[in-house]
Amino acid sequence: MGKSAINHNFNSNGASRSLDWTDLIKLCTFAFIVIFSLLTKNTIASLLLFSTLVFFDRKYIVSLLLLTPLVETILLVKEGFTITRVVAIIFTGVFCYDLMTHKKIHYRKSIIALFMLYIIITIFGLLNSIAFGEYVVSVDWNDWAIVSTYFKAGLPKILISLMLYFYFSNKSLEDTWDTLNITVYAISISNIVISAYFIFYGNNGTLWYDLVRLTFQDADPNEYSCMIVGLSCFPMYLLLAGKNIYNYSLGLTSISISLYSVILTLSRAGVLTIGLLIIISALYSIKNGRKTIRRFIAVTLVFCMAVLPFAGEKLKPLYARFVGYGTSSEVGKITAGRSDLWKSGLVATGDKLFLGHGGSSITSRWVNQKALGRSSVMHNLYLEILVQYGLVGFSIFMLLVIVNYKKMIVSAKKLVNWEQSGVFYLPSMTLFLLLFAAFSLSWEWREVVWYLLGISLGIGSLKNSSEHGLSEQAVLEG
């Protein structure tokens, strides 16, 4: 039954089809809306346009959810309320409507249990902050500020992640493939638009000693660079697994301009994440045979010849960033003080090992203020969770991540003979890159990590369900 059975099922349902003219029109429309949003910074008009497109084609909701965190600093509904949160509300409407059309809801009890446990630990962390958090007496912080922040930023990202899990675990294999296929093109095009806007128009400069670092308007340069590298998994897949010259050209252009924009930020986290992306791409090429390996080598050479000459002057200050420009070789200075923050976080974790100091965005800043005399986040997702929620919260979060990759490995084995199955793993690969970047960034309060976790878990669950798309027997025999 093997590969032919799988290909027959997909081809007969249209999942392996090429883009038709309606898809191209919608992709052009999506690109136009991204350009319009960047140039006008009109959040309301942008939301209306995006909502209209999603109304006509639900496949664009994933692209919208993953891209808006990149540009949210210039698309504010009001202070502290970004386009990312409004898009999450739009998705909630889509989710609720679609959920009502399902006669039977498919889900894994173990995954729901982990989500619910993490929500419980965050609620406990909220109460912990109010009852025992010494920082509540800090200027501008009180019980209401902590509760308000939790319900605005803390809880919603977890609930949307849970909704995304339900949403994808109840989709057919073919519908999910089609959605991710469109997402590959939409994100590849959008990365070009956003990077070009950043390079030529929408950037701010900040000083690091006598070096100028560029960043997307009002965004943290490290967060911007790591997010765009993470999303570069999509054009990289298009480049390595594409079927025609148009795919190769779009993928190469998107990768080149995105990575060049990262060089301009002088972000060490961004450059290290690029290195991991290259390693993953090389492993994928080796797995897929000589043709893909040759393409990977050719692309690497073309990129070096086309981009590095323009980036030459920026490589020197980037090198200075890694070796501690203007400083001695002390570890704390080379890491821009991050190692001191990490030591502070580990000490604070030891003080309240199991349940942490309280689930508030100010917790780590208070810890570092006491230990180091400066209010700063931990610059590490894992330490943020440890400090706020202790070993209990950290263990639940890591279990969610481990379950996700366990499901991805199982799914990969089941679809090993289907050459186009790689698109299913792109959200997990993007998540992997962001989790790697999270060793030096406080992603705990950023939605994009949770969105990708929910999508990845949902995809892993639908592939193991005999109720959707291919029969389980057909997949197993494949």
Q: Considering Cα of 283, then 286, then 287, then 292, what sign does the dihedral take?
A: positive
**What is the mean pLDDT of the segment spanning 113-135?**
85
Per-residue pLDDT at 392: 94
Which among 377, 400, 361, 381 has a CA at the least distance from the CA of 438?
Answer: 381
Kindly indicate the confidence band of residue 417, based on its pLDDT and cuts at 50, 70 and 90. Answer: low
The set of residues, in sequence order, having a beta carbon less than 8 Å from that of 239 and lying 6+ positions away, is 247, 248, 251, 252, 255, 295, 299
| pLDDT, greater one: 143 or 250 | 250
Mean of the per-residue pLDDT values of the chain = 81
Please compute Rg for the chain using Cα positions. Answer: 22
Place of tokens 């929500």: 119
| Whether the predicted pLDDT of 126 surpasses 50 | yes
Query: Which letter does DSSP use for residue 18 in this model?
Result: P
Kindly indicate the confidence band of residue 204, based on its pLDDT and cuts at 50, 70 and 90. Answer: confident
Which among 242, 270, 249, 207 has a CA at the least distance from the CA of 70?
Answer: 270
Per-residue pLDDT at 7: 40
DSSP 34-47: HHHHHHH--HHHHH
Report how far apart the first and last C-alpha atoms of the chain are (Å, whole number): 7
**And the tokens for 193?**
């638009």
| pLDDT, greater one: 227 or 170 | 227
Per-residue pLDDT at 113: 94
Kindly indicate the confidence band of residue 159, based on its pLDDT and cuts at 50, 70 and 90. Answer: very high
**What is the mean pLDDT of the segment spanning 368-380?**
83
Place of tokens 């330490």: 383
Can you tell me the distance from the alpha carbon of 388 to that of 132, in angstroms, rounded to the nearest whole number? 12
Q: Residue 78's beta-bridge partner residues?
A: 81
Query: Which letter does DSSP use for residue 1 in this model?
Result: -
pLDDT, tens digit, 9 for 90 and up, residues 427-474: 999 999 999 999 988 877 688 999 999 999 999 887 444 444 444 333
Kindly indicate the confidence band of residue 38, based on its pLDDT and cuts at 50, 70 and 90. Answer: very high
Can you tell me the distance from the alpha carbon of 53 to that of 26, in angstroms, rounded to the nearest whole number? 8
Which among 403, 406, 397 has a CA at the least distance from the CA of 444?
Answer: 397
Q: Which pairs with CB-CB distance under 8 Å and at least 24 residues apart come from 324-328?
A: 325/208, 325/209, 325/211, 326/209, 326/210
Percent of the chain past pLDDT 70, that is, above it, reads 81
Residues recorded for the chain: 478
Kindly indicate the confidence band of residue 49, based on its pLDDT and cuts at 50, 70 and 90. Answer: very high
CB 408 within 8 Å of CB 456: yes
**What is the mean pLDDT of the segment spanning 272-300?**
84
**What is the mean pLDDT of the segment spanning 241-252?**
88
**What is the mean pLDDT of the segment spanning 419-425?**
81
CA distances from 131 to 134, 137, 246 (A): 9, 11, 59
Q: Residue 211's beta-bridge partner residues?
A: 208
Which among 183, 178, 288 has a CA at the least distance from the CA of 240?
Answer: 288
Can you tell me the distance from the alpha carbon of 107 to that of 109, in angstroms, rounded to the nearest whole number? 6
| Whether the predicted pLDDT of 117 surpasses 70 | yes
| Whether the predicted pLDDT of 223 surpasses 80 | yes
| pLDDT, greater one: 228 or 440 | 228
| Whether the predicted pLDDT of 143 surpasses 50 | yes
Q: What are phi and psi of 139, to 5 degrees?
A: -60, 135
Per-residue pLDDT at 327: 44
